[in-house]
Amino acid sequence: MAAMVAPKVEQRARRIHVSGIVQGVGFRPFVYRLAKDMGLKGFVRNTPHGVEIHIEGDGASRSFVERLRGSAPPNARIDRIEVLPDTDQGYADFTIDTTSGGEATVFAPPDLFLCGECFDELFTPSDRRYRYPFINCTNCGPRYTIIRGLPYDRVNTTMKVFRMCPRCDGEYRDPSDRRFHAEPNACPDCGPGVFFTEGGEKVPGGIERAVERLRQGMLLALKGMGGFHLLCDARNARAVERLRDLKQRERKPFALMARDLETVEAVADVTGDEKAVLLSAQRPIVLVRKRTQIEGISPGIPTYGIMLPYTPLHALIMERIPLVVATSANLREGPILKDESEGVRELSDCLLTHNRDIVMRCDDSVLKLAAGRRIFVRRARGFVPEPLGINFEGRNRILSLGGELKNTVSILKDGYIITSQYLGDMKDLGNRQYLEEVIAHFSTLYAFVPDVVTCDLHPDFTTTRMAEGWGKPVVRVQHHMAHVFAVLAEHGLSPEEPFLGVALDGVGYGEDGRIWGGEFFVGGRGMIQRAFHVRYVPQQGGDLATLEPWRMALGYTMDALGKPVRMGVLATVDEKKLTAAGNAIRQGVNSPLTSSVGRLFDAVSAILGIAPLRIDYEAEAAMRLEGIACEDAQEYYPFEVRGDEIDMRETIRAVVEDTAPPAVISGKFHNTIAQVILTVCEASRKRYGIQRVILSGGVFLNAVLLARAITSLREMGVEVYAPEKLSPGDEAISVGQAYFAALNRGEA
Ligand code: ZN
Ligand code: ZN
Ligand code: FE
């Protein structure tokens, strides 16, 4: 009765390639459970490019891929899934093939915080890892800071020296176990331990004693994930003061670690978005608005930087003390200390260390939120080394050495930019060694050898000289163009489309040899050109003016009014110093010209008497001005755009004459800078038909300004792009250099 129909040849087997962050995050066990659940046969394995899956079974490949995408483990990031037909091999089961090899992928996993399941086990008395400070699983634990090389296997980590006991080994080999191939897997019988040192005596254990010392007001150096923290009881003003003496920091904000969200909420007003970031897998330090004043933590500014415990060791300590200062242990501006031998004893009364070595030091990340958007104040632990895809496959492998302050390095390989953690100021010898450690680490991790090296235009930077000595072609990128290109890179934007690149910044070497920092570039069709800039004013004292904001107030008031004004901080400066500085400006001695908007913020902060006489940390004067800004202020001050120059003299005159409270003046000043951006944007729209605006540069760490600029530009109907995955500041310079060089030398 039925007609003869040729059987439909159905390709039942599929080969699936998944790329992204899929190694070291529990991806293979997840695939295994999924395949088992769907009755599929085949295997899953790690490859140099991600994960490869072979499945065969009853035509379930589509729903398999959907579930793969939809229910991946929390710390995985799938960039691409490629599905190809494959031949049926008649597999009897689904297995995890643990062989891996080949050339290293661009994906190394970042460090992850203690997950909920491990947290519960940590505090369950009957659990075999009860109170064990190194508990972890495939969803949590250290990664980047303990990896010596890829592929990410135990032998390539600092866990190699700890031989797993039979029970741990059983978990490690069992595909249905949460600890299947959890490379740092350990327990009290076989894993690392902690040691307490006091008065030259080192004993195993000692978490209780360490907490006791904290409660007694002593300073504890604690070895964590990416290095040492210095801890003290945040409520003990004398301990905080001693810590300030030891770190030689008068006012620089100290980060806090709080036991839980309730503790955070007791001292700060936390929004829903901020809570989400505090609890996120990266567990960064989040800047939140103060509710109560805790003496000595962050004098002069309205926020605290707070984080929650992110390792089991932190959780065990915080169980007994609700709020501590947890600041990176370093010597002045140097790198975070990672070994006992690096001088951490001199900074503390006692030490709690452990014997799991740290390969790669790494600070805590710092974030703040502006109208729900995140701003990276410091990008490090948890976010590094997450690769940034750039939709552009040049043939060249690029090493970008960045700039000088708040530096990072980046490498570009296989269409991805990988950026290091925050490395600090390159003037410090320790930080320069840190930079070399990172380059060596990246070279091993990613089997990376550069074809091209990039650096800043500044002839005297250490990184410029390093690039010149590399023996490869060098691409020099102007500092603020690099800022703009970093934002283009993170949003995957092509520089072919016309754009206005706004770079408001502290300092960068300009194409004319002057100090730039208030620059507006017009770009498109692969070109970029400076179209507008803030009027040059004298930066009396050169770099000294960055430390003493009154020097900028002097330069600005003399330019705007023809004479110095003795108000605000200027009224407190020593008479002789002030006269000498004034004369130097008149004679053009030691007074290089600058268009820096960072310095303009310093000037206004000093005129209002908000800035200190001498700052204790970078951008202190500007942060204080932002801190007092009245959010309700609607007006702005006058300014003038003449030709390519943005003249701020009228603004300065208006600020000097305004009798409103400093908070209102600050609010109006923030509005003024937003209005400058708007005005230039309008002009470029008319002149060049630009519809796309890029906001970049360290000044956009200012949340008030960033929020206002974005809101008003959107109202104007232009597309606005601002930094979100990277810092607006100089940590992004190496990224911008890499993208710039890829586009310009990509086919070289
Ligand atoms: Zn876990
Ligand atoms: Zn064990
Ligand atoms: Fe900069």
CATH of the domain at 38: 3.30.70.100
Does residue 4 register a pLDDT over 90? no
Convert 428-463 to b/e letters by CB count within 10 Å (16 or more is b).
bebbbebbebbbebbeebbebebebbbbbbbeebbb
Residue 5: per-residue pLDDT: 53
Kindly report, residue by residue over 176-190, the tens digit of the pLDDT.
899 988 999 999 999
Does residue 613 register a pLDDT over 50? yes
Q: Which ligand is nearest to the CA of 596?
A: 3
Q: Which ligand is nearest to the CA of 515?
A: 3
Does residue 623 register a pLDDT over 60? yes
Distance 44 CA to ligand 2 centre (A): 26
Does residue 565 register a pLDDT over 70? yes
Residue 57: per-residue pLDDT: 84
Q: Looking at the structure, do residues 88 and 227 belong to the same domain, yes or no? A: no
Q: Which of 78, 96, 114 is the last residue of a domain?
A: 96
Q: Please, are residues 253 and 348 in contact by the beta-carbon 8 Å criterion?
A: no
Residue 678: per-residue pLDDT: 98
Query: Cβ-count burial of 232 within 10 angstroms (0-12 exposed, 13-18 middle, 19+ buried)?
Result: buried
Query: Cβ-count burial of 45 within 10 angstroms (0-12 exposed, 13-18 middle, 19+ buried)?
Result: middle
Residue 748: per-residue pLDDT: 36
How far apart CA 268 and CA 270 sit, in angstroms, is 6
Q: Looking at the structure, do residues 326 and 417 belong to the same domain, yes or no? A: no
Query: Cβ-count burial of 37 within 10 angstroms (0-12 exposed, 13-18 middle, 19+ buried)?
Result: exposed
Concatenate the DSSP letters of all residues of 492-519 into one string.
Answer: T--TTS-EEEEEEEEEEE-TTSSEEEEE
Q: Looking at the structure, do residues 621 and 580 belong to the same domain, yes or no? A: yes
CA separation, residue 214 to residues 221, 236, 336 (Å): 10, 9, 21
How far apart CA 231 and CA 326 sit, in angstroms, is 5
Q: Which ligand is nearest to the CA of 618?
A: 3
Q: Looking at the structure, do residues 616 and 575 belong to the same domain, yes or no? A: yes
Q: Looking at the structure, do residues 427 and 570 belong to the same domain, yes or no? A: no
How sure is the predictor about 149, in pLDDT bands with cuts at 50, 70 and 90?
confident
Whether 591 maps to a domain, the answer reads yes
Higher-confidence residue: 379 or 87? 379
Q: What is the CA radius of gyration of the chain?
A: 28
Q: Total structural domains in the chain?
A: 4
Which residues does 427 contact at the CB level (< 8 Å), separation at least 6? 333, 404, 462
Whether 482 maps to a domain, the answer reads yes
Distance 651 CA to ligand 3 centre (A): 24
How sure is the predictor about 58, in pLDDT bands with cuts at 50, 70 and 90?
confident
Does residue 488 register a pLDDT over 70? yes
Distance 616 CA to ligand 1 centre (A): 40
Does residue 101 register a pLDDT over 70? no
How far apart CA 180 and CA 158 sit, in angstroms, is 18
Q: Looking at the structure, do residues 62 and 28 belong to the same domain, yes or no? A: yes
Q: Average pLDDT for residues 387-393, to the nearest whole number?
A: 82
Higher-confidence residue: 725 or 47? 725
Q: Looking at the structure, do residues 673 and 570 belong to the same domain, yes or no? A: yes
Q: Average pLDDT for residues 55-70, to the nearest whole number?
A: 86
How sure is the predictor about 391, in pLDDT bands with cuts at 50, 70 and 90?
confident
Distance 308 CA to ligand 1 centre (A): 16
Q: Looking at the structure, do residues 589 and 696 belong to the same domain, yes or no? A: yes
| Beta-carbon count within 10 A of 97 CB | 13
**Looking at residue 326, what DSSP letter applies?**
E
Does residue 215 register a pLDDT over 60? yes
Kindly report, residue by residue over 275-320, the tens digit of the pLDDT.
999 999 899 999 999 999 999 999 999 999 999 999 999 999 999 9
Q: Which ligand is nearest to the CA of 699?
A: 3
Q: Looking at the structure, do residues 575 and 695 belong to the same domain, yes or no? A: yes
Q: Which ligand is nearest to the CA of 113?
A: 1
How far apart CA 91 and CA 733 sit, in angstroms, is 51
Whether 157 maps to a domain, the answer reads no
CATH number of the domain residue 238 falls in: 3.90.870.40
Distance 325 CA to ligand 1 centre (A): 26
Which residues does 442 contact at the CB level (< 8 Å), separation at least 6? 385, 409, 411, 418, 420, 448
Residue 747: per-residue pLDDT: 40
Q: Looking at the structure, do residues 236 and 305 belong to the same domain, yes or no? A: yes
Distance 162 CA to ligand 2 centre (A): 9
74-83, 146-155, 184-193, 280-289: segment of lowest average pLDDT? 146-155
Cα separation of the two ends of the chain: 69
Residue 552: per-residue pLDDT: 98
Q: Which residue has the tokens 């090389």?
A: 149
Q: Looking at the structure, do residues 311 and 424 belong to the same domain, yes or no? A: no
* Full residue range of the structural domain in which residue 348 is found: 194-367
* pTM of the predicted structure, to 2 decimals: 0.94
Q: Looking at the structure, do residues 706 and 735 belong to the same domain, yes or no? A: no
Distance 170 CA to ligand 2 centre (A): 9
Kindly report, residue by residue over 444-456, the tens digit of the pLDDT.
888 899 999 999 9
Mean pLDDT of the chain: 94
Whether 472 maps to a domain, the answer reads yes
Whether 414 maps to a domain, the answer reads yes
How far apart CA 727 and CA 718 sit, in angstroms, is 23
Q: Which ligand is nearest to the CA of 132?
A: 2
Distance 405 CA to ligand 3 centre (A): 8
Residue 746: per-residue pLDDT: 46
